[in-house]
Each structure stands twice: as C-alpha cells, then as structure tokens.
Structure 1
Amino acid sequence: MPDTLRIVIIAPSLDGNDLSEPEWAYRWVEALSRMADVTCLASSRIGAVPLAEQLPRARVVTWPEIPFLYRKLERFNAQVKPALPLFHAQARRWIKHAQRNGETFHIGHQILPQGMRHTTPLRNLGFPYVVGPLGGGLKTPAGFEKEVQATSSISARLRQIDDVRLSYDPFLRAGYAGADLVLGVAPYVVARLAPVGIRRFHALPERGYGNFAPERTRQSEVGTLTLFHAGRTIRTKGLRDTVRAMARLRDLPNVRLVSAGDGEDLTNCRAEADRLGVADRITFLGKIPREKVEEYYAASDVFCFPSFREPMGGVFFEAMAHGLPIVTAANGGPDFLIDDTSGIRVPVTTPDDFANGIAEAVRALAMDPALRLKLGQGSRERLHSFGSWDDKAELMLSFYRDIIARRAEGMT
C-alpha cells in the first residue's frame, strides 16, 4: 500500500466560488488535496477564478468551457451537459498520455457531474475507480404529474429517458458496473441503479458541515411561527403545497410564511395564495443575495421545504446549521437526510393529502415550543453527524485504501 495515494479526480465545472454541485465538490477536492497527491481534471469556467489558484495543493488540468453553451443556454447546459462527451474524451486522452509517460495513478474518482445519466471516462484505464456521490433520477409521484408537467422545461423532461438508458445504454451501464464503489447521496440511488448490477454501494450525503450559527435557546410563543422556504421555485420544491397548507391554518393567524427564490412556478404560487386568501400571511421575496438568505434563516422558527422530488437538498444543511426544525417530504434525499430527531417528514400521496400533512406538521410545531426546541437541537446534531469536509476526505481515503487492498488481493 503506498504511503501517499495518487488520485486522479474527474470534476467538470468545479468552482469554489459557485453554488450547489460545483462548490460542494470543490470543498471535497480541496480537503483531499491536503491529504493526498491529487490531480484534478476539470473545466476552466468563463469568468471564474482559475482553478489552479483555488486548489494550490493539487495539480490542476483544465479545458475551456464552450462559450455559447455557457452564456446563451446556461440552464440547458447545466441540466443536459451537451459538452460533457468532449470533456470526457479530453480527460481520457490526458490520462492515457500521462500513463505512457510513466505516471501511475492508484485510483480515480469521478465526483462530478452528480446526475446518473452521465458516463465515466475512467473505465478500463488499469486502475480502480469510484463514481459519485450520485443523485437525481427520482420520479414524480403519480398524483403530482399533471401539475409538474404543466410547468416543466423541455430539458427537465429528459429525465423520462433515464430509465431506458440505465437498462440499455451499454456505455452508461459498463461505467457503473466497472466501478469499484458507487456513492449515492441517499439509499434510493442504489434502487435506481438496480438495472446495472453495481459491485458496491455506499450512501453518503454530498455535503459536509461548515460553520454553525449560534445555538437557539428561546422559542416564539404558542401559535406564533415564521416558516422559511428557500430554493428555486419550481413545482417539485413544494412551495405551492406549503401555500395550500397555509390555507388550512386559518385559525393560526400568527403563522406566517417567507419564501426566498425565483423560478417558473413562482407566478402560480402567488396566484394560489391570492385564490386561497392567504396572501397577507405570505412574503414572496424572489431571488435575494446569499447574505440575506442567512438573515432569514436566523429570523425564522421552522424550515419548511417539502420538496417531493429532491435528490438531496443543500438548503437542508444551511437550515440545520441554524438549528431549525425541518418540515419536508418523506421521499428521496430528504427522507434520508432528515430523521425523527431533526424534523417531521410528510408522506407524499396526493396534492390534497400532502398539503394537509404539511399543515398538521406546522400546527404541531406552532403549538409546542418545546418540540421546536428539541427538533432544532436535533437538527444541529444530525448535521454534525454527517461530518466536516475533512471528515469526508478522511472517509474517502479509507475507501480508496480498502479498494486498492481488495484489488491487490484479487477481490472485487
């Protein structure tokens, strides 16, 4: 077993100054680069701080993004990633060239992209490799399909072909079947990959914890509650369901909802609030700066984010860092991330029953400040249990070493 592991990491779009996947993957790679010999193959993002400056301890090799896709078709590019095959070809060619020049890599890790619809360039290169954490691929619950389809973009509907590809695409299947370890953001991922027959799986949240907000010791009065919902306003994120839940809480006029985020379903949510007569108790902020989002977390009593097709949800990590009890959907990533010590998970059946369930959860929290305090403390503890970025890097190193040892012993 080598003292220092030489790791090659595939991570297009990596950027520590971005949000979501590019940022969390950067944190992971940065931590690994302080513990091992890391070569990172990535994109050079337009307008971003050069990745080599962001990762001074790693060897960084980048290829430029395609300007047209980044500037003109940003959302389509983020979802479909049409330039990914070119990036993978460049990465694979670079690795083979390095090997011909005598370089040895002990293990590879494709950490981005997170979606299950993408192949890997690490197959059949003579060293073991890891893929993930993977997320996505969740199906829309049957009772919600009509409303979701009414506001879905064309690129979002490409999800419908994922099942077919996982069952029949030979390149996609071979990439996962050949991986020594597949990581998923939650246990549902292994079920989605069942048609492939992967060797080994481990559920691991995509994010680590950073700084915690000061601990809360006081709660609002009985019947008084500020709910906070933050995220892109699309139908699956559950804001419309939360608005409907507010209409079932008319007898609690001091329960209020604040929403931060923009998206194609925001107009529908505003209209729903007007139609149900609860617009005076809901504040739609739209898109606001990051620092303002933190202020609203700090000023809120409960994080209500019943996203019913959520792969994981970075906003949960933010809310838990503020010690907020969570109301969410009992489906996908949230069903794994949030447990009974940190929040209330609502079964996803029909839109009407879902709204009723959210309302019942909110009512329970509004009427029981002690429960809010208990779940808020549990929320912080739950987040701490997922580990810091350094903890995650240490865990990955243990996985890498175990994989290398298994290969040496002829095990799979």
Structure 2
Amino acid sequence: MGRLRVLVVAFGLDGDDVGETYSAFQWVQALSRHADVTVLGTARRTRRPLADQLPGVEVVTWPEPAVLYTTRLERLNAMAKPWMLVFNRQVARWIAAALAQGRRFDIAHQIVPQAMRYATPLRRFDIPYVLGPLGGGLDTPPGFSAEVDQGSGLMRLRGLDGWRLRHDRALRDGLNRAALILGVAPYIQDRLRVAGLGHLPFRAVLERGQGALPDLPVRQARPGALNLLHVGRAIRTKGLRDTVRAMAHLRDLPDVRLVSAGDGPDLAACKAEAAQLGVADRITFLGRIPRPEVDRAYAAADVFCFPSFREPMGGVFFEAMEWGLPVITAARGGPDFIVDDQSGLRLPVETPEQFARAIAEAARRLADDPGLRLRLGQGARARVQGFGTWDDKARDMIETYRGLIATRRGAPQ
C-alpha cells in the first residue's frame, strides 16, 4: 500500500486558536507530511483562511455565520456548536459528490469536535473511519453540585449528553460504524460502556504532541518556600477557588505563595474568598496575560497547581510539565491519565472542604521536601518528552490507519 489518501473532517480547525482546535490542527498538519490529506472544515470569521495555514493540503471549507461570533452567542457557539448540523449536511453532500466523480479515500478521520454529542456524517458512506480523540462528558462530583452552576441553559444542555449517548440513534449509529474510537483518556471508554457501547474498538490517546522544550530555569529550592502556579480560565470547575481555600490551611508557611494566570466568571469570587480568608497578600491574580508572560510565570513557579475536577484533558498540563514543574491535580478525568506518580500528586475529589485540605497537604509536602519536588519535576519533564512529537503521533496514526484498512479488506496485517 502506497501513500494513503486520508479524508479529515474537522469542524473549527484552526492553528491560530487554542485548545482542541489547535491540537487537532497540529495533528492534521503532521499527518499531511506522511499522507495525502483532504480537510473538510469551517471558515471561521476574522480568522486566517485554513488553506493558508495548511499549504500543500487540499482544504474545503464552509463559512460559519458571523452572528455566532457576537458576544451574546459566542459561548453558545463554543459549547453547543449550533452550526454543526448544517456543516454535517455540507460535508455529506461534498463526499457524495466526490465519490460520484470517482474520488477515492483509503480512510476518513473526524478529529474534532471532541464532545460525544454530534452524529458523524461519515456514517453514511462506505469508507472506514476513525472518530476522535473524543472527550468531555465528565460529571460534577456530587459534593460540588451546590457550588457549580448547573442551572443555566447551557449546563442543562450539557446534561443531556449522557441521555443522548444512550438514545440518539444517529449518534449511536455513527459510533457503532467507526473502525476505531479514540478517547482523550480511559474514562471515555467507561462512558461508552455505561451507554451500552463498551464493545466498540477503543484506544486512549493523548491529544498533544511534543514540540521544542524550553530551557529550564535554575530553581532555588529551600524548605518551607513554594511558588504555586494556576494557569487557566477562572471557572468553578478549574479548581482555582479550591486552591485559594487551600492557602488558608497554609498560614504557618508564609513563604508559600500562589500566582493565578487567567480570567473568567469565577475570578471575582476567588478574589473575594482570598480577602475573606486573609490570604490575599500571598496570592497574585494576573488575569488574562499574553503568551510570553505565561511562559515567564511557568519559569518562575516551583509547582503547577491545577486541581481541575471536570477536566477532559487540559493542554496546560503539558505546558507546565515541559517547564519541569511537578503537578498537583485531581485524580479523575484527563489529569489522572496525563499525570503519573513520577510527575505529580493526584488527589481524590469528594467535597470542597476535603479537596481544599488535600491540596494544602500536597503543597505542604512539596514545600517541606525540596528533594521530592525536584524528582517530580524531573519526572514531569521526562514524561512529557515520552509522549512523542507530532510527527511521532502522525506516524503512529498512519500505521493504525493501515491496520484498520487491512482488517477491513481481510488482508493480513
């Protein structure tokens, strides 16, 4: 079998963005160096054309309506993706026309969106296909339900995901027909199993590849002193408020300090709690800052404390580990897959009070033991190096494609 012809379906693909669309872009860009790739995507308003971002790749896009990028609808568009239904019809029509004209694809891959709430248009065609890496769908720990806003329309919409996974025929048909389902972490297979889809071919893969590593700063480690760093959007589930509360349990360690980089709806509440608990003088809230300043924050930190308890993956973990930072996080979802015992401390999540104390105990342990901090930092750096480059991931995916194609044809692998 020669160079593969790969059809990629990727809603919102954008190398100038962040999060899942950026990771997917890096993966597609690497794939294009090892296969003939055709991308079906969306033309995002005010963004650089995808064809300009992927020179040498056949790119077909359809524009999303400008109204979806207004302030009022931006959050709805990011979470619910109302244009997906239209996009899927456009993709289906394009594939049908291409096949009618004699085009052939060895395999297809719908790489974004991550959420398991959209029925793939690929199910309508006789092309083997891969879905994912799929993510999302983590529930809120029961002990946190009173503090997490689950009453908004968007959150109620999100709450339907489990029901749809069990009952939406089109969604289930698309999953059942897939040659392989990729998940951002093993918990995705648990979600499939609960929905009666545990029989499907599944593999957990990290959605991040490794680029050039930064030069490590010289960190002065002395007992009792610790610079904690939290980087991410300030929403309740990202654990910033829990970290602020943990600081109140560390009053006897005045040289333990926290820096927060990120903005969001929970930031005001975090600042208020810091003042109320009497720890505001040991916490710096930077808000949203440019990328170079984020990197300087990583370089100045001793520990990355990101106890996000409903996190499907979290690109910030990779960033922090690249900077040689040990990690304090939650023992659930994506973080439980990314971070191991050689790179950080993973904590059980039961109630806000328990969680804040656990974060404080983990921080105290690292403050009191600079040697442990150094070993975990080295382990974090080594682990992220072991994840491989984007080209490593692309080559592995090409081999996976070949195996799936051979199996479908009944040929020996």
Give the Cα separation in 2 of the matches to 1:71 and 1:95. Answer: 31
In the TM superposition, what is the alpha-carbon distance from 1:124 to its structure 2 partner? 3.1
Aligned residue for 1:146, secondary structure, equals coil
The amino acid across from 1:10 in the alignment is: V
The answer to which of 205-214 and 7-16 deviates more is: 205-214
Aligned ranges 1:7-18 → 2 under 5 Å: 7-18=6-17
The amino acid across from 1:93 in the alignment is: R
Paired position in structure 1 for 2:183: 184
Aligned residue for 2:147, secondary structure, equals helix
- Cα deviation, 1:183-227, whole Å, max 9, x if unaligned, reads 000000001112234520000011111121213554321111110
Paired position in structure 2 for 1:130: 130
Aligned residue for 1:111, secondary structure, equals strand
Aligned ranges 1:45-84 → 2 under 5 Å: 45-72=44-71, 73-84=73-84
- Cα deviation, 1:59-118, whole Å, max 9, x if unaligned, reads 000000111012341111010000001001101110110000000011000001011111
Report if aligned partners of 1:9, 1:40 keep a CA contact under 8 Å in 2.
Answer: yes
- Cα deviation, 1:136-179, whole Å, max 9, x if unaligned, reads 100000100110027x6431332211111011000011111110
Give the Cα separation in 1 of the matches to 2:197 and 2:94. Answer: 28
Aligned ranges 1:141-160 → 2 under 5 Å: 141-149=141-149, 153-160=152-159
Aligned ranges 1:12-411 → 2 under 5 Å: 12-72=11-71, 73-149=73-149, 153-194=152-193, 195-216=196-217, 218-409=219-410
Query: Over the residues paired in the alignment, what is the CA RMSD in angstroms?
Result: 1.4
Give the Cα separation in 1 of the matches to 2:155 and 2:57. Answer: 35
Give the Cα separation in 2 of the matches to 1:280 and 1:215. Answer: 28
TM-score scaled to structure 1, two decimals? 0.97
Report if aligned partners of 1:44, 1:62 keep a CA contact under 8 Å in 2.
Answer: yes
Give the Cα separation in 2 of the matches to 1:71 and 1:131. Answer: 30
The answer to which of 214-223 and 172-181 deviates more is: 214-223
The amino acid across from 1:3 in the alignment is: G
Report if aligned partners of 2:190, 2:198 keep a CA contact under 8 Å in 1.
Answer: no
5+ residue gaps, structure 1, are none
The amino acid across from 2:188 in the alignment is: V
Give the Cα separation in 1 of the matches to 2:48 and 2:265. Answer: 30
The amino acid across from 2:168 in the alignment is: D
Report if aligned partners of 2:107, 2:405 keep a CA contact under 8 Å in 1.
Answer: yes
Give the Cα separation in 2 of the matches to 1:56 and 1:347. Answer: 46
Aligned residue for 2:120, secondary structure, equals coil
Aligned residue for 1:137, secondary structure, equals coil
Give the Cα separation in 1 of the matches to 2:153 and 2:222. Answer: 46
Aligned residue for 1:149, secondary structure, equals coil
Aligned residue for 2:284, secondary structure, equals strand
Give the Cα separation in 1 of the matches to 2:293 and 2:218. Answer: 22
Report if aligned partners of 2:219, 2:302 keep a CA contact under 8 Å in 1.
Answer: no
Report if aligned partners of 1:219, 1:373 keep a CA contact under 8 Å in 2.
Answer: no
- Cα deviation, 1:292-326, whole Å, max 9, x if unaligned, reads 11110011100000000000000001101100000
Report if aligned partners of 1:176, 1:198 keep a CA contact under 8 Å in 2.
Answer: no
Report if aligned partners of 1:317, 1:383 keep a CA contact under 8 Å in 2.
Answer: yes
The amino acid across from 1:11 in the alignment is: A
Runs of 4+ off more than 6 Å: none
TM-score scaled to structure 2, two decimals? 0.97
Aligned residue for 1:87, secondary structure, equals helix
Report if aligned partners of 1:249, 1:359 keep a CA contact under 8 Å in 2.
Answer: yes
Report if aligned partners of 1:79, 1:156 keep a CA contact under 8 Å in 2.
Answer: no
Aligned residue for 2:136, secondary structure, equals coil
In the TM superposition, what is the alpha-carbon distance from 1:262 to its structure 2 partner? 0.9
Give the Cα separation in 1 of the matches to 2:199 and 2:120. Answer: 14
Give the Cα separation in 2 of the matches to 1:347 and 1:303. Answer: 17
Give the Cα separation in 2 of the matches to 1:219 and 1:309. Answer: 33
Report if aligned partners of 2:88, 2:120 keep a CA contact under 8 Å in 1.
Answer: yes
The amino acid across from 1:163 in the alignment is: G
In the TM superposition, what is the alpha-carbon distance from 1:410 to its structure 2 partner? 7.9
- Cα deviation, 1:367-398, whole Å, max 9, x if unaligned, reads 11111110001001111121111011011101
The amino acid across from 1:223 in the alignment is: G
The verdict on how the C-alpha distance between 1:153 and 1:382 changes in structure 2, with shifts beyond 3 A counting, is: farther
The amino acid across from 1:71 in the alignment is: T
Give the Cα separation in 2 of the matches to 1:60 and 1:71. Answer: 26
Give the Cα separation in 1 of the matches to 2:88 and 2:54. Answer: 21
Give the Cα separation in 2 of the matches to 1:156 and 1:205. Answer: 26
The verdict on how the C-alpha distance between 1:26 and 1:163 changes in structure 2, with shifts beyond 3 A counting, is: same
The amino acid across from 2:122 in the alignment is: L
The amino acid across from 1:347 in the alignment is: P
Give the Cα separation in 2 of the matches to 1:366 and 1:96. Answer: 61
Report if aligned partners of 2:242, 2:355 keep a CA contact under 8 Å in 1.
Answer: yes
- Aligned pair count reads 410
The amino acid across from 1:408 in the alignment is: R
